[in-house]
Structure 1
Amino acid sequence: MTVLEIPANGTALRAPGRKDAWSILGADVSEANTAREALEMADLRGWDVRLMGNVTASEVTIHEDGVSATEVKMPDTRATVRTNPRTGATEYLSAVGRKYTPVQIEAYENVLDLARRESGAVFHKAGAYDGGKKFFISMSLPGTVRIGGVDEHNMHLTLFGSHDGSSSNSLHIGPTRLDCGNMQRIIIAGAKHKVSVPHTASALDKLVTLEDELAVLFDWEDAYVREAERMLNTPLTIGQFEKLVTSRDLWPVPTSPTPRTRKNYEERMNILRNLFENAATQESIRGTAWAGWNAIGEYLDHYAKVNSHSVRAARSLSDTGAVTKKKTAAHRHLLALAA
């Protein structure tokens, strides 16, 4: 593969100027030597996330005599709040259940520093998004992963967390593809890609044992390379690709569509075909199942319609949402061809 440029600031090899999800949502913390420094650079320290009382819901009713408000107590629900590190103001984050226990981001500093020392990783990007409800701290692992010797990836070890009860905090391993900036989210059977810390009273005890669980994550890298090279060694025609993308768990052909639905379907198909057949980002892997999977990933990460780039980036980082489900479904279909 001819390297067109050296990636910097989120720029991909064959998609100049394109930012990956890390760069859209996070600050550059590559100069940090410790987790504390990385968190300070990204304004992730000093939040003092805490719980406040019972949540009360209000219902406003308009009637002949005017307007009245009724308050309903929600005894099984409390609110998480934080101190904004820039303004010092108390900010609402989310309503959570009675068992929810806040875990400060600083509690992970020792684990992050240990992972950095043991693996030789360097801090990469860190940031909060969705109004402070979610955050991440990413480290780049040393070396470059090359699928088939040509398709380059950077591997990251990342702490993902939330303060809204939507998910446990967890350490993930996963790659970013340099040619297109794709977040290579994929769930591989039998390969553990994350270790989690729940928001419960046992969270701090779990942190003590988390250090011993990190080693298993590095086995996921071998599984990822193995699965990717199986797809790279499997030919894929445009007809097979079109059948794949119109499967039930991706984008099935609409039945009795409205003109708008039909237009959106055709636009999406045209983009997907072009990404598979013509895009420079598939140049080194053209005509393979691996190109098909990456065309789908590139569409989801960089072309699918959303309200903002930050929403798309957040969606690409998640391993529980629709984007990862579609990438995993495509992987399953393509491996069936490779069998």
Structure 2
Amino acid sequence: MSITDVNTAFAAEKTSQIESARGRERAFQARIDRGEIRPLGGGRFEVLVGYDRGEIFTVTRNALGEVSGIIAQHGLDARADGTIALYTTSPAWHGLGQIIPGGTSDIDDVLQLGGLDFDVTTVPAFYQWDGQLRQQPDQFHTVRKDTGAALGIVGKRYQPIQNRQGFEFLQELVGRYDVVWESAGLIKGGRRVFIAIRLPDTVTIDAHGINDLIVPYVVVINDHTGRGTFQCMVTPWRPVCANTERFAVRDSVTRWAVRHTAGATDQIKEARRTLGLSFQYFEAFAAEETALARTDIAVTDFHKAIADLWPLEEDATNAKKTNFATRLGALDSEFRTETARVGRSAYAAERAITSYLDHVAPRRPGKTMTEEIARATAAFEGADDDLKSRAHKRLMLLTRP
């Protein structure tokens, strides 16, 4: 006959729970101490390393102040069944979406998994006046056929480029290069959708030195608001920090776009030729980045480059001087991080500037956006492409005697 002492059992159970909670707290604090994440205040934290770098999450705590959960600020839309509208071949930082290890080569599966399997139509725009409903001449709304949600206001010449029509030209590349669809998803309720494939060949920067790998992707974005274009680009992705960036090779052909008008789907075929031209620039890109990697740079030279990119007038206001100092401090921090990885080189300087623009530079979000969504949208749209290109050209001057 066995006798159970409920008090002893209760004490043991509570001790186990407390130790488990303390273990989670210690593990979380250890990540902060190792520099993997940093507190932003208000329970918000930023990821500093790895695949998730630059992303923001919120930690919730229970009545005892113990870590009880993590809320991901992913900013992605939901599909009709309530799941997140994202297809990806590997887990994203937030762990959401339809993850297919190894990916798929079937475009219909990608469109369905990513929530892109909907068409867009246009309907007349109406307004209320003096108790009557009137039609606005030559103005229409773009509307999702599956949900009826309005996406934008367009003119009479606008013709939607359907998601499948716009993306299916990549299917030829998928077959030719024996690659899979890498990711697909939508933001802003389907106003903007994206899809990407990863090409099989990688670009090596300074093979006998830092041996940094660049993976080329083809990214296509379709805009249904009437304010944007259908665009296609070749972009390298540095897996070390998941830092998407555009080519910074002088005037290389990396982007192609067409407006939503009659015959646009036929013009999309031109993107094939543009992509072919873009691929030719990878060798030039690798050569220039290798030259940067082999060029030592002093902190003073880095600061001179920053001053050229973000000039400060002599009669600048105190507010502008403060902003300049804040930016310089943030760039110095990024530079230290990169020099620890690849040495104090012009390549580290370029990576620091790119990382600052992608992950740190302030973004003013719209009314329906968080700063994180605004930052992701800016990266997709290439808002800082010109500045990145100027930075590349400025640093390339240091490689020449």
TM-score, normalisation: structure 2:
0.68
> Residues 74 and 252 (structure 1 numbering): CA distance in 2 closer, same or farther, change over 3 Å?
farther
Question: Partner of 1:170: helix, strand, or coil?
Answer: strand
Give, in angstroms, the shift of residue 171 of structure 1: 2.3
> In the alignment, residue 41 of structure 1 is paired with which amino acid?
L
Provide the residue aligned with 1:112 in structure 2. 170
Query: Counterpart in 2 of 1:122?
Result: 180
Structure having the higher Rg? 2
Which residue does 1:5 correspond to in 2? none
* Equivalent runs, 1:286-325 vs 2, <5 Å: 286-306=343-363, 307-319=370-382, 321=383, 323-325=384-386
Contact 1:79/1:92 (CA < 8 Å) preserved in 2? yes
Equivalent residues in 2 for 1:1-339, closer than 5 Å: 15-16=49-50, 18-19=52-53, 27-30=86-89, 31-46=103-118, 48-54=119-125, 56=127, 75-83=137-145, 88-149=146-207, 150-208=211-269, 210-247=271-308, 250-253=309-312, 260-276=319-335, 278-279=336-337, 281-306=338-363, 307-319=370-382, 321=383, 323-339=384-400
In structure 2, relative to structure 1, the CA distance for the partners of 1:39 and 1:220 (3 Å cut) is: farther
Name the counterpart of 1:64. none
Equivalent residue letter for 2:49: A
Q: Which runs of 4+ in 1 moved over 6 A?
A: 68-73
Q: Residues of 1 paired with 2:270 and 2:51: CA distance?
A: 41
Given that 1:254 and 1:262 are in contact with CA atoms closer than 8 Å, whether structure 2 keeps it comes out as no
Shift of the 219–100 alpha-carbon distance from structure 1 to 2, 3 Å rule, reads same
Partner Cα separation in structure 2 for residue 254 and residue 164 of structure 1: 39
Deviations 1:47-67 (A, max 9, x none): x21112146598xxxxxxxxx
- Whole-angstrom distance in 2 between the partners of 1:282 and 1:56: 58
Structure 2 residue ranges without an equivalent (≥5):
1-47, 56-73, 77-84, 90-102, 364-369
Q: Which amino acid aligns with 1:18?
A: D
- For the aligned residues, what is the CA RMSD? 2.9
Q: In the TM superposition, what whole-angstrom CA distance separates every residue of 1:195-231 from its partner, at most 9, and x where no partner exists?
A: 3343110112224554455422311322321221232
Change in CA separation of 1:293 and 1:187 when aligned onto 2, cut-off 3 Å: closer
Report deviation, 1:73.
7.1
Does the CA-based 8 Å contact 2:183-2:195 persist in structure 1? yes
Deviation at 1:238, TM superposition (A): 0.8
Query: For residues 215 and 54 of structure 2, what CA distance do their matches in structure 1 show?
Result: 12
Determine the C-alpha separation between the residues in 1 that align with 2:284 and 2:155: 37
Residue of structure 2 in register with 1:63 after alignment: none
Q: Which segment drifts farther, 325-334 or 262-271?
A: 262-271
Distance 1:239 1:202, change over 3 A: same
Secondary structure at the counterpart of residue 283 of structure 1: helix
Distance between the aligned counterparts of 2:296 and 2:131, measured in 1? 65
Q: Distance in 2 between matches of 1:255 and 1:95?
A: 45
Taking the aligned partners of 1:173 and 1:143, their CA distance within structure 2 comes to 13
C-alpha separation between the residues in 2 aligned to 1:315 and 1:57?
35
Q: Number of paired residues?
A: 305
Distance across 2 between alignment mates of 1:263 and 1:69: 54
Following superposition, the deviation at residue 327 of structure 1 comes to 0.7
Aligned partners of 2:297 and 2:346 also within 8 Å: yes
Gap regions ≥5 residues in structure 1 = 1-13, 59-67
Q: State the percentage of identical aligned residues.
A: 24
Q: Which has the higher contact order (CA 8 A, sep 6+)?
A: 1
